[in-house]
Structure formats: C-alpha cells, structure tokens
A and B are shown apart, each in its own frame.
Chain A
C-alpha cells in the first residue's frame, strides 16, 4: 500500500498517487495494441512495399543491365504507347460514366424501398460476385457475337437487319466492364443514400420544395460523397483491368495492363513492363490525389451528421 500523504495545504506527491504506475500501464496497453497489428504490417511490408520498390528499381534497368532511362524514353518516343494510355483513360472514364448513369438511379430506387425488399435487391446486385470473372466475360462473348443471342433476337424482333459487331471492339469492352464494375459503384452510393435522414426531405418539402427541387437541392448533394467514392473506385479498378478488355476487345482495344503482359510474355522485357507499371501507378495516384481534393471539399460541406 502506498500511503497518500496530504498536508493541510492540499499538496500531494505525485509518486504517492500512482502516477508513474498508471503511465506505465498506458504505455503497455499501447504496445500490446501495436503488437496485434504487427502481423498485418509485416505482410504489407513484404508483399507491397518491397515489390513496389523492386518494380521502381527494375524500371530503371536497361537492356544491357545497367542504369538507364530507356524504358521511359521509349514511352515518350513511341506514339503507340501514348495511344495505349489514352485508350486506358478513355475506357476507364467511359465505364465510370456509364456506371454512374445506370447505377445511381438503381441505388436511388433501392434506397426508397422498405429494407427487406432493398436487401433482396442488394443480393441481386452482389450476385455476379459469386461467379468467376472469366465466366462472366466469356458469357458476354457468347451473347454478343454475330450469331449470338442478342443479335439473333434483335433481328427476329426487327430491331435491326444486319448483325451488329458488338465484340472485339470498344462496345463489347465497355459492356463487359460496366457489368463487372456496376456493384462497386452501387454499394457506396446506396450506403450514402440510406444514411440520409428522411427528415431532411420532409424539411425541404415543408419549406416549399417540390419533389424534384428537394431531390436536387438536398438529396443529391448529400449523396455525392458516396457517388465520389464509388466513381473513384470504379475508375481506379478500370485503369488496371486486364481480363475483360483482353477477351472482349479481341486485340483491338489495348489497355496498359495488356501491354505489360505482352512485354513480358512476348519480349521478356521486364524493364519495359516495370516502367509501364510505374507510370500507371503514378497516374493512378495522381488521379486519386485530384479526386481526394474533391472528396475533402465534399466532406467539408456534407459532414454535418
């Protein structure tokens, strides 16, 4: 037992009040918490930090095995590389835009349903996740080809006369990618919409806003954090996407990821592939950085609840 010495004036010695012991306990607790997270930190270090560093290193090694900038110079000199980057961003932006146009109304519809029905819809949205990406992509190939289901039915119904080319081009790639990416947009948008207090809309209506006005002045601005998050996720995932554009693009639509693969598989040029990876990584981070400026702005305006 530590005696608490207290004089008539009320002075106390901190040692007597267990201050040192309490401080030590707190330090121990923090150490233990850190200990819990150390396996995850180790994994991140081993499979993320080290390989990325290695990637950077390899990208600066030329064909003769010494330090050189030739991998990067090639990207600037050759038009085909620039075109590949433009295509990649074009497809990513288009996919994101189409996902927003389709996904936002769907999420809105779901957010207005009673929660039981909404959960059922959510399962339907998530259902594609349970099938293999490859299976879904090849399924589109079957559906969209010249003698495929879509063309046959459309011709039989008289919608168009000649089979339309819908695969091995941009159209097919976009259809496939939108299908794969849609859930990534819908989930955060739906979450943000569910979190909007219905009283906000009641208040808007009480103050004189009709349904359309209330939607655009209150509901939509409050749903934008979810929309930004979803759009950003879709866009970034699209930038590095491989399987779907490779299968449905049929070699006509070349994205960065496909070029990386060909650099390694055809030319066994690890340096060139690494440089492409580095540039894609830097561009992605740049896009994230720009977007995070929007997000922060938005949190400032929407963070009141």
Chain B
C-alpha cells in the first residue's frame, strides 16, 4: 500500500483561457498558476465564472481558447475521463444504485485494481473521512454530511494528484459546515494534493485557503493569501466582497487627500487615478476619547444606531458629509452601557496603518 502523503502533487497552469456564452464572457482571458500542493480557492459571486474555470480544469467545459497544464502536460483537449483528477460535486453526484463501497470503489474498479485491494483501499478512504464500516450502507440511508464525506472519499481513493471541489459544503447546515471546513483543511494537509476549491462564501475561503483568487466578470481580480486579501485588497470590488467595509470618496487637493472633509494621514502613497476610495473596516475604526495620536485620522460623527451583538457591538455613525460608517468593537462586562447613545456626538479614529486607499477598479 502506497502512502498517500507521498503522492507528488502537480501544479496547474492556466493561460489565456477564454469562454463566451453568446455575448457573455464567462472567462475573459484568464491566467492563473496553482502551486503544487496548495489549497487555492476561487471566490466570487454567482455568475462570476469561478465554476466555469473549475469545469474547464475538470474537462466538462470546453473553452474557446487557452492552455491548461497539469505539471508539464497540456490537458486542454484531454477528455475528462483521462485527466485523472478527483472532483467533489456540489450535489455530491453519488450513484444511487450503488452502495457506499460501490461508489468509493468505482474509480478503482475502472482502473482494474484487484478486488481484495479495492476492498482494502475503500475502507482506508472511508476511515480517512471518518466513515469506517459504512461500506454496505445505501446512499439514501446517509445524512447530508455523510454523503459529503462519501463523495470526498470517492474523489481521493484513486490518489489523484489534483483535487477539485465545487462548493461542496453549500448544502450543509452551518455547524456541520464549520466542522467540515476544518476537516477538509486537515485532509488536505495529510494528502498534500493540489486542491482547487470553489465557493461564494468569503468566510469559508478565508478559513481554508493557502491562497484565494477573487473572480468577477470572468476575470481574476486578485490572487493573494487570505491576510493580504483582507488587509490590502487590490481594488474596491475585492475590498467589498471580502469582509465588511464602508467606502468614503477621496479627493486630491494638491498633495493632500481629503475624505468627508478631513485630511487623511497616510503612511504609504495612494494609487494613481482620480476615482479613489477610502476603505474603513468596522473593526479597524476606533472610538476616540480625548486627544488622538498624531498618526490617527479623526472624523467627527453622530451616532445613528447602536446594536448589541453579544461578543461585540456594532455602532453606526453618520459623518458630517452624510456617509454612514460602521464601527465594531469588543464588549467586556459593563462596557456596553458606557457607549455613546444614538444622537450623541463621537469621534472616529483610523490609524495610518489601517488607512487603505483603493482605485475604483473591478466594476
């Protein structure tokens, strides 16, 4: 029995892939490098082209043009059954006329593996997804979470070097989803295969991925680690899609940048272009008491709403130009009662290190 952890992963190289449906560009000259062994997530709203890109990798969608390489091998014209990649479908696509073992053993049977070895490897794969001993069950006797695990076992049992997943957790309830995210992450660490994961859930993407490619209108908006994506989004679309944020229009006055009537204190140069936005993450905006530090830009505002959310509060404050800014902060015993009430004046502070100014791209 070969140890699956030693399986060589393969890098995926996508070059200039284009796919149009009528006048719609599902994929617009997409190029992306998936590194060997990494967990890369394609994240985007529905209709962004993320699933189309995954289907091109799996071979179910034939692009108009472009190149797709697994390692050094050109795959773009290879039919799906010869690509040797594992795939987990959104609805699992488990064969209802076969048992759990029949499903998981199916790819091995096609590869003419001996019967005894099939049984052994099926059981090992099921144990990896914590379903040891479930082989004889029928698919319709399984819960959603169990089906998900069987689909996963089936896609890894033949030790593919690339694993593709199309929103595999979207049908599960939130608690199970959270647990499966961690389990998938562990399984990936254990097996080490190059994994491409599609989701529209930004929290899921942040939790699981080595890197995230944000997709919109058939283009890659940004490819970065979860932290870079959150702290330094490339444009307003990415900033808006990942996490919550309020945007303020920024105008140039000579060398100075002005937003909501306030001069901004920054520690890095603003991007070129005339349409600039200041990104304010709710948890990075502070309520300033007394004198602010010199590196902190302050805005005067009036509280319009204060919401209690258990571990944190969410405060909405209206700036002098009318923009509403959200502020989130931790609550400790007794601190909620001391917060400013609606109608009261507050000073909002944004540190220079949290000052992210974006060009209005990506729309």
Q: What residues make up the interface of A, taking CB atoms closer than 8 Å to B?
A: 197, 199-200, 202-210, 213-214, 217-218, 221-222, 300-305
Contact = CB atoms under 8 A, between A and B. Distances in A.
B151 to A, nearest CB: 8
A208 B97 contact: no
B106 A217 contact: yes
Most chain A CB neighbours (cut-off 10 Å) among B59, B60, B81, B82? B81
B45 interface: no
Nearest to B157: A207
Given A222-B96, A222-B97, A303-B140, A208 B85 contact: no
- Of all A-B residue pairs in the complex, the 6 with the closest CB atoms, nearest first, are A304-B96, A203-B93, A207-B107, A199-B93, A304-B140, A208-B110
14 contacts: A199-B89, A203-B93, A206-B60, A206-B85, A206-B86, A207-B107, A208-B81, A208-B82, A208-B84, A208-B107, A208-B111, A222-B97, A303-B96, A304-B138
B95 A202 contact: no
Contacts of A222: 95-97
Counting chain B residues whose Cβ lies within 8 A of the other chain, the interface size class is: 20 to 34
B12 to A, nearest CB: 16
Interface of B: 58-60, 79-87, 89, 91, 93-98, 106-107, 110-111, 138-140, 154-155, 158
Contacts of A208: 81-82, 84, 107, 110-111, 158
B300 to A, nearest CB: 56
A294 to B, nearest CB: 14
B163 to A, nearest CB: 11
B91 A207 contact: no
Chain A interface, DSSP helix/strand/loop, else mixed: helix
B93 A197 contact: yes
Contacts of A214: 81
B110 A207 contact: yes
Contacts, number: 80
Given A206-B85, A207-B107, A217-B106, A200 B80 contact: no
Given A217-B106, A304-B138, A205 B97 contact: no
Contact of A304 (B84, B91, B97, B111): B97
B89 A203 contact: yes
B95 A203 contact: yes
B274 to A, nearest CB: 47
Given A200-B95, A218-B95, A302-B96, A206 B140 contact: no
Most chain A CB neighbours (cut-off 10 Å) among B87, B95, B98, B158? B95
Nearest to A302: B97
Contacts of B94: 203, 304
A156 to B, nearest CB: 46
B266 to A, nearest CB: 49
Contact of B97 (A207, A213, A221): A221
B96 A205 contact: no
A204 B86 CA distance: 11
Given A207-B154, A208-B84, A304-B140, A197 B91 contact: yes
A74 B54 CA distance: 73
A226 to B, nearest CB: 13
B139 A304 contact: yes
A279 B94 CA distance: 45
